[in-house]
Structure formats: C-alpha cells, structure tokens
Amino acid sequence: MRTIAASLLLALVLAGCAVEKKVSFEPVSTATQVSGTLAGKNDHRPVDGPMLLVVTVGEGREETVVVPSLFTAEPPSTAKLALQKQADEVQVGDRLTATGTRNAEDQLVAEVIEIHGP
C-alpha cells in the first residue's frame, strides 16, 4: 500500500514539475530623455522622499523629473551618489538633460542628469 501511495505521490510531483508557467508583462516605462530649462526644485529628501525637478521643455509645457531618495534597502551606488550631486548643483534657469525611465505617473525617474549651463 505504501509503495502505491509513494508511486502516486511521485507521479503527481513529476506532473507538477512538467507544467510550464509563462508570465508576460508590459513594462511600465521605457528609457527616455527630458531636455529643457529648470523651472523649480522641490526637495523631499530630508523626509526620505525624492527631489522633484520641474523642467520647461517647450512653450509652456513642463515635465517632472524625479531624483529618487538615497534611503533604500541597499547602500547607494556611485552612480546614485553622482545623480544626487548633480541634482544639488542644478539651479533654476539652468538648461539640463535628464535620462531615465517613465513611472506610472508619467514622470521621468532620472538615472543621469547633465547640466548644460544657464
């Protein structure tokens, strides 16, 4: 009886392993750039939030660039520290290009910021 039960259990386990699960998803964001003039900075980093940069990209059109918080589970990388430094250095009126990905709110989450001057 135990042999039959063990054989049956083994057959069920093997059948379960043979089932292939396919999961597909659409990415929330794609790599993109925002270029324009910095119109404002809203720094929420002191309370563990992001810095929001408002960039004028055309005739009255604005884009929000998000500089993520440093306070994450893992220590910040050299690239993330460099991004924070660039966010601190950019001033209202400076021209900049931010490269990153779009989040669900259609904001650009920056990975790189280049400052081109006033």
Show the domain range for 66: 31-117
Q: How many domains is the chain partitioned into structurally?
A: 1
* CATH value at residue 36: 2.40.50.140
User: Distances from the Cα of 41 to the Cαs of 37, 53, 75, 107, 112, in angstroms?
Assistant: 12, 5, 25, 14, 16
Q: Is 78 helix (H, G, I), strand (E, B) or coil?
A: helix
CB 39 within 8 A of CB 54: yes
Q: Per the confidence metrics, is the pTM higher than 0.85?
A: no
CB 77 within 8 A of CB 48: no
Domain assignment present for residue 86? The answer is yes
Domain assignment present for residue 97? The answer is yes
> What string of pLDDT tens digits covers the 118 residues of the chain?
556 655 555 555 555 544 443 433 344 445 589 999 999 999 887 777 889 999 999 888 999 999 988 776 678 788 888 998 999 999 999 999 999 999 999 899 999 999 998 8
